[in-house]
Every structure is written in C-alpha cells, then in structure tokens.
Amino acid sequence: MHILHHPVEFAQHCNSIRALAQAVTFVPTMGALHRGHAELIGQACARGRCMVSIFVNPTQFNSIQDLQRYPTTLDADRSLCERLGVDAIFTPDAEALYPFPSPGHVSVTGLDSLWEGAHRPGHFQGVTTVLAKLFHLVGPCTAFFGRKDFQQWRVVQRMVDEFFFPVALEAVPCVRDLDGLALSSRNHRLTERNRQQAQAIPRALGAVAQAYTLGERRADELRRTLSSTLEGSGLSVEYAALVDPATLVPAQSQVDQPVALVAATAGSVRLIDNCWLGVDDASGLVTLATGH
C-alpha cells in the first residue's frame, strides 16, 4: 500500500493507474475510520484500485474545539486500509492542500444553507472546497460516500453536476451499531448516559419508518411521530424534519419517499442521522422502535 503526502505525487499515482487502463475508485475521509468507512472502502476496493484520503479538513469545522477534539487514529486507519486492500492512502498536511493564506473556495448554493448548513454556517463550503481539490487530484474516478450524511451527499452530487467533475458518485447506506446508533467518529465521546439518550434517534427514525410502512403518508403525522419519540429523551434536538429527497425542503401534505432528518446533541456530542422512507431498509430501526 502506498502512503502519499504530496498532492502532485498523489495525482501522478492516480494517472499512472489509469494509464494501465485500470479503474480508480476514491473514498475521501477525515480518518478515525470505523465500520461505516470499512463498508465504503470494501465496495470501492471491489470496483477498482482504491484511493483513500485521510485529511481532517479545517475549513469545514465551524468551531475550533470541534476541530481540536476530532480523533486521529492514523496507525489503526492504516492497518484497516491495508487489510481491505487499499492501493494508496493520501494524507497531506493542511499547508499542502491550502497553500495560500487567503484560500479560495467552491460552493453550491441553495442546498448548502438548509439544515446542517443553517446550524453550521460555512460547513458545506468547506466540504465542497476540499472535495474540489481532492477530485482534481484524483481525476476521473468513482467516489464513495456514506448516506448517513444525506445532505452532504446531495451537496456533493450538485457540485459534481454543476461543475462537471469527471466523478461518478456512489452512495452507501448507513451502518449502525447493535443499539441502532449510526456509526460516527464522534460516538466514542458519548458517555454511557449520553449514549442511552442518543438511542432515541434511531428509535424515532424506526417509529416514523414503521408508520410509513403501515401506509401513513400525511407529512404532519409523520413529523409528529418523529418529534414525539425524541421528546423527553434528554437530547437537545436541533432539527427533526421530513424533507423532499431532491430539494431537501420540508415535505408538504401527502408525501412519497421523503427523508426523515435528525440533528441533536447528547451531552457535548452533536449527532446526525436520517432514514429515507420507502428506500432504506429500515427493518432494524423498526425492530428497535416497536420491540419486535
């Protein structure tokens, strides 16, 4: 497995693979890899020579504490990538990716100002800026993203379509722990009590998925189910919404295949999760919500 630090070296490596007529696949990450990443990387390795970037991107954090607290587990990340058959890891330092003191940026408008965008101003601009850089370095490829970050995935799709990046996108369903919590690099900071509180999120998504499966299509009713399960959980809920999967605007009256989005804080840990009703396999969530 190659470990590359320099952007030009990484771009040359990706070009050399395409020169052999082999497909390049790409999984961008911020490290602290868990089973959710392993799922993305496994799929990417099965589809071509897989590149994984590990870079904690400072421009997408809107709090310095959040950036400083972000875990780094490079040795473990390296072994996991090696085991999964990754071709190369790209771990640049911040100066290599942001060589100028007042950096430019790439942004998409509209989708980036709702939900996460409203609560974390500038976050998506940081994400699209770093991905624009990484996509330019990797070149034509298939890139894999987790659907846990539903809005990020939509924002990235928009960027690729709007700016004609030669990148095919694949979205991989969310991976969950046994208690239903979506895997996230932030979960290790949850205390036992916070973790119990956090379990209300998959329970709420399960309750709404169950209602949808039983035929409920009234947006207000589905919204009520989502919110009532979160009430009294001890979580501080930022939003619990039912949205149109393409535009991310709140779903109106009768809905077909909307996405339930939740963001909430347990203790000091901010968590996001979602369920795409009628599309995601929500059987595990429904079991949690109904007990059978």
Of the candidates 13, 40, 44, 57, which one interacts with ligand PAF according to CB under 6 A?
A: 57
Asked about 292 being catalytic, the answer comes back as no
Q: How far is the CB of 221 from ligand PAF (least distance, A)?
A: 32
Q: How far is the CB of 146 from ligand PAF (least distance, A)?
A: 7
32 vs 44: CA distance, rounded Å: 18
Of the candidates 45, 50, 111, 127, which one interacts with ligand PAF according to CB under 6 A?
A: 127
Binding of ligand PAF at residue 29 (CB under 6 A)? yes
Binding of ligand PAF at residue 210 (CB under 6 A)? no
Binding of ligand PAF at residue 27 (CB under 6 A)? no
Of the candidates 4, 13, 28, 255, which one interacts with ligand PAF according to CB under 6 A?
A: 28
Q: How far is the CB of 152 from ligand PAF (least distance, A)?
A: 6
Name which of 169 and 237 has its Cβ closer to ligand PAF.
169
Binding of ligand PAF at residue 50 (CB under 6 A)? no
Binding of ligand PAF at residue 51 (CB under 6 A)? no
Name which of 159 and 289 has its Cβ closer to ligand PAF.
159
Binding of ligand PAF at residue 183 (CB under 6 A)? no
Could you list the active site residues? Answer: 37
Residues in contact with ligand PAF by the rule CB under 6 A: 28-30, 57, 60, 127, 130-131, 149, 152
